[in-house]
C-alpha cells in the first residue's frame, strides 16, 4: 500500500487511422496526448481522468482565466471525451474556494424529478420496475442541471463568458480525440442497449460497432450544440429550442422498432426545465486533525457521510495504527456512517435532514464506541438518532444501501491566485439512459434511478423516494481541506456511485493520517464498506495477506476490480501546486500545471 509510483509514469499512446462519426477519414498527423498522473509547478493546476480535458482547463488558465473558468472548460471537454460519464444532459456538485475571502461555496446542480412525479414513479401495476427496465428509458431522465451549474459558477465567481470557456471543448468535438481502451470497452459494454436507439448507435457505434482503439472520434453535433450554447446562453436549454428537443426525446424516446425495446416514456416538460435552478448553498464543514474539511451538503450525502466517518475516526490515532487496524477502523466507520446516511439523508427541500447533528462530534462519539479492535459489526447496521445521541445505541431498524451508478467523473483545479475548485459531474451510470438527443450529440442521464423505487425498509420512512421536483440522493463528495489559517491543504473527489464516499474517505486518511504522497494515496488499493454484509476489496487488498488478517477479526470480503477514479490538487509552498490523478484506474488520469517546475 505504501509503494510510491514513478513521477514520469505515463500511459503509452497509440496511433491508428482516423475515424469520423460513421465514416473513415484520412490518418491524423497529430499524436494523442499522453496521460501523466503527477505534475508539479506554478500558475495553476488541473487534474482529471482525460488528457484533452485537463489541457482544456490549462488553456483557459494560461489565457488569464481563474479556477472556475478552467473547471467549466475541463467539464465541457469531459462531455466530449468522457460522454458516458458526464455532459450537458446530466448534473453534479460544484465546490469552490475563494482565496481572497478564504471562504468555501457550493452549488447543488443535481437533476430533478418532473413536477408530476410522485413516490410511485418507478412502479408499474403496483410493483417496482426491474432496474434494467428503468435505466434505458425516458422515465429515468431527470431535468439536467449541468448547464445551469456552469452558468451559476461563472456568474458568481468566474471571469470569462460561457462561450469563451466552451471553445476548447467545441474544438475537441469538431476535430476529434483519440479513442483509448477505456472508451472502447465502455462503448462495447453498452453496445446492446445503444443499438436500441438509432441516434445513439449512429454516434457511438460508427461503422456498425465500437470505435477502434487509436482511431479519432468526432462529434460534430456536440460541437454545434456547444457553439449554440455559448452564443445563446443556457436559455436555449431551459427556455428554448434545445430544451424542446430534450423534452421531445424524453417523452417519446426514439427507439429502433426492430429492437423490441420498451423505452418507457418520461414525464419531462417545458415547465420542468423553466423551473430548474442550480442551488448555491452552504458547504458541510468538519474539523479533522486541526483541519477544516468542506464538502457538499444534501441533496448529496457525500459531505455528511464522509464528515461523520471522519468524526468517528477522530479519536483513533491512525498514523500509528497497523495496516490491519487502520483498515479495520476505516471499514467500521464507513459501515456506521452509511447506516445513518440511509435513514436520514434526502433532498432537504422535501425531507427534514439533520445535517448539523449528523456532523456533530458528540454524535460521532456516540457511534464510535460501537467499534471494537477485535470484532466486527454486523450489517446492515441499524442507524442511530443524531437528534438524540445515545452512547453505543444499537436500536432502530436497519436498511440496506441502494444501488447507484458508478460512472461519474471528477475534476480538480487550482489557479495562480490560490482559488480551488473540486467538481464532480455525472449522467449516472456508464452511458446514462443510453438515449442521445437527435442531432445534438449528447446522452441524457438516468439520474432518477438513484431514487429508491420502493422504501428501502417498509418499516421506516425512506427519505429518498421520488417526489415532484425532488432531487435524488447522491454520494458525490467533492472535498476541499483548509488549514487553520483558511488556506488550502488538498482538494479531491472521485466518481464511483456510493463508493465515492469510501474512496474520498480512504484517500483523505491515507494522505492526512498515513502521510502518503497524494498520488500514492490516490493509487492505494481500496476497500469499500457500505453497510453491507461484505466489504468490497480491490485486487491489491483482496489478493494480499491483509485480507486474511482482517478475516481473522471477523470481516467478510468480495472482490471489486476497480473502485473509483480520484483526482486532486495539493498546495505547496511558494505558490507551487501539485496535481495528481490515477495511475492505472480507468486507464490512468491526467495531471497538468501551467508552468512545470524544473
The DSSP secondary-structure symbol of 12 reads P
Phi then psi for residue 13, to 5 deg, are: -80, 155
SS3 assignment, position 282: coil
Question: Cα separation of 391 and 289, whole Å?
Answer: 23
Q: State the helix-helix crossing angle for 220-232 and 241-251, rounded to 10 degrees.
A: 130
The active-site residue out of 74, 187, 249, 408 is 408
The DSSP secondary-structure symbol of 144 reads P
DSSP string, 109-130: E--B--TT--TTTTEETTEEPP
Which residues, 6 or more positions from 25, have their beta carbon under 8 angstroms from its beta carbon? 17, 18, 19, 216, 218
Where does 38-181 show beta strands of DSSP type E?
38-48, 91-98, 103-109, 123-124, 127-128, 177-178
Which residues, 6 or more positions from 395, have their beta carbon under 8 angstroms from its beta carbon? 382
Name the residue with cell 465515492: 500
Question: Cα separation of 191 and 490, whole Å?
Answer: 39
SS3 assignment, position 554: coil
C-alpha cell at 470: 425532488
The DSSP secondary-structure symbol of 383 reads P
The DSSP secondary-structure symbol of 136 reads T
Phi then psi for residue 509, to 5 deg, are: -70, -35
Instruction: Classify residue 574 by burial, with Cβ atoms within 10 Å: 0-12, 13-18, 19+.
Output: exposed
Annotated active-site residue 408? The verdict is yes
Measured over the CA atoms of residue 262, residue 263, residue 268 and residue 269, the dihedral's sign is negative
Query: Is it true that the peptide bond before 380 is cis, omega within 30 degrees of 0?
Result: yes
Question: Cα separation of 430 and 428, whole Å?
Answer: 7
CB-hemisphere CA count at 13 Å for 452? 21
- Residues with a known catalytic role: 408
Amino acid at each position: 500500500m505504501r509503494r510510491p509510483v514513478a513521477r514520469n509514469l505515463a500511459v503509452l499512446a497509440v496511433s491508428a487511422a482516423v475515424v469520423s462519426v460513421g465514416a473513415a477519414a484520412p490518418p491524423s498527423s497529430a499524436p494523442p496526448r499522453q496521460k501523466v498522473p503527477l505534475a508539479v509547478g506554478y500558475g495553476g493546476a488541473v487534474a482529471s481522468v482525460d488528457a484533452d480535458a485537463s489541457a482544456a482547463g490549462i488553456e483557459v488558465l494560461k489565457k488569464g482565466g481563474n479556477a472556475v473558468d478552467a473547471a467549466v472548460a475541463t467539464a465541457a471537454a469531459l462531455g466530449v471525451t468522457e460522454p458516458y460519464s458526464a455532459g450537458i444532459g446530466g448534473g453534479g456538485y460544484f465546490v469552490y474556494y475563494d482565496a481572497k475571502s478564504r471562504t468555501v461555496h457550493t452549488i447543488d446542480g443535481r437533476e430533478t424529478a418532473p413536477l408530476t412525479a410522485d413516490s410511485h414513479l418507478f412502479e408499474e401495476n403496483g410493483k417496482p420496475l426491474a432496474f434494467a427496465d428503468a435505466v434505458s428509458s425516458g422515465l429515468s431522465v431527470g431535468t439536467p442541471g449541468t448547464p445551469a451549474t456552469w452558468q451559476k459558477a461563472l456568474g458568481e465567481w468566474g471571469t470569462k463568458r460561457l462561450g469563451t470557456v466552451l471553445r476548447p471543448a467545441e474544438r475537441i468535438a469538431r476535430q476529434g480525440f483519440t479513442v483509448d481502451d477505456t472508451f472502447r470497452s465502455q462503448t462495447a459494454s453498452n453496445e446492446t442497449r445503444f443499438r436500441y436507439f438509432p441516434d445513439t448507435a449512429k454516434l457511438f457505434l460508427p461503422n456498425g460497432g465500437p470505435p477502434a482503439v487509436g482511431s479519432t472520434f468526432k462529434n460534430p453535433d456536440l460541437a454545434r450544440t456547444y457553439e449554440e450554447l455559448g452564443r445563446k446562453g443556457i436559455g436555449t436549454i431551459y427556455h428554448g429550442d434545445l430544451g424542446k428537443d430534450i423534452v421531445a426525446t424524453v417523452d417519446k424516446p426514439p427507439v429502433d422498432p426492430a429492437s423490441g425495446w420498451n423505452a418507457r416514456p418520461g414525464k419531462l416538460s417545458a415547465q420542468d426545465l423553466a423551473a430548474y435552478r442550480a442551488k448555491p448553498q452552504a458547504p458541510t464543514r468538519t474539523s479533522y486533525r486541526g483541519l477544516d474539511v468542506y464538502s457538499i451538503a444534501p441533496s448529496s450525502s457525500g459531505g455528511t457521510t464522509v464528515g461523520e466517518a471522519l468524526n468517528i475516526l477522530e479519536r483513533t490515532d491512525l498514523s500509528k495504527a497497523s495496516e490491519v487496524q487502520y483498515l479495520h477502523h476505516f471499514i467500521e466507520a464507513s459501515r456506521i456512517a452509511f447506516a445513518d446516511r440511509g435513514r436520514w439523508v434526502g433532498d432537504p427541500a422535501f425531507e427534514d435532514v439533520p445535517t448539523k447533528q449528523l456532523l456533530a462530534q458528540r454524535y460521532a462519539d456516540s457511534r464510535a464506541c460501537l467499534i471494537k479492535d477485535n470484532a466486527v459489526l454486523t450489517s446492515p447496521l441499524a442507524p442511530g438518532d443524531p437528534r438524540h445521541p445515545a452512547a453505543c445505541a444499537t436500536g432502530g431498524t436497519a436498511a440496506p444501501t441502494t444501488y447507484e451508478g458508478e460512472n461519474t467523473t471528477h475534476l480538480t483545479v487550482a489557479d495562480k491566485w490560490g482559488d480551488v475548485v473540486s467538481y464532480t459531474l455525472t449522467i449516472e451510470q456508464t452511458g446514462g439512459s443510453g438515449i442521445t438527443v437527435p442531432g445534438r450529440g449528447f446522452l441524457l442521464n438516468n439520474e432518477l434511478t438513484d431514487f429508491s423505487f420502493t422504501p428501502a425498509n417498509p418499516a421506516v420512512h425512506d427519505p429518498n423516494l421520488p417526489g415532484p421536483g425532488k432531487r435524488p440522493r447522491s454520494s458525490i463528495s467533492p472535498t476541499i481541506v483548509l488549514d487553520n489559517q483558511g488556506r488550502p491543504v488538498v482538494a479531491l473527489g472521485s466518481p464511483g456511485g456510493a463508493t465515492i464516499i469510501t474512496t474520498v474517505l480512504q484517500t483523505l486518511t491515507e494522505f492526512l493520517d498515513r502521510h502518503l504522497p497524494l498520488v500514492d494515496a490516490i493509487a492505494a488499493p481500496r476497500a469499500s464498506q457500505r453497510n453491507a454484509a461484505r466489504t468490497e476489496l480491490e485486487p491489491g487488498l483482496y489478493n494480499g495477506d491483509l485480507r486474511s488478517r482482517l478475516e481473522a477479526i471477523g470481516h467478510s470480503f468480495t472482490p471489486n476490480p476497480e473502485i473509483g477514479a480520484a483526482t486532486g490538487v495539493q498546495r505547496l509552498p511558494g505558490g507551487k501546486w501539485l496535481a495528481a490523478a490515477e495511475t492505472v484506474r480507468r486507464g490512468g488520469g491526467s495531471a497538468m500545471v501551467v508552468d512545470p517546475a524544473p
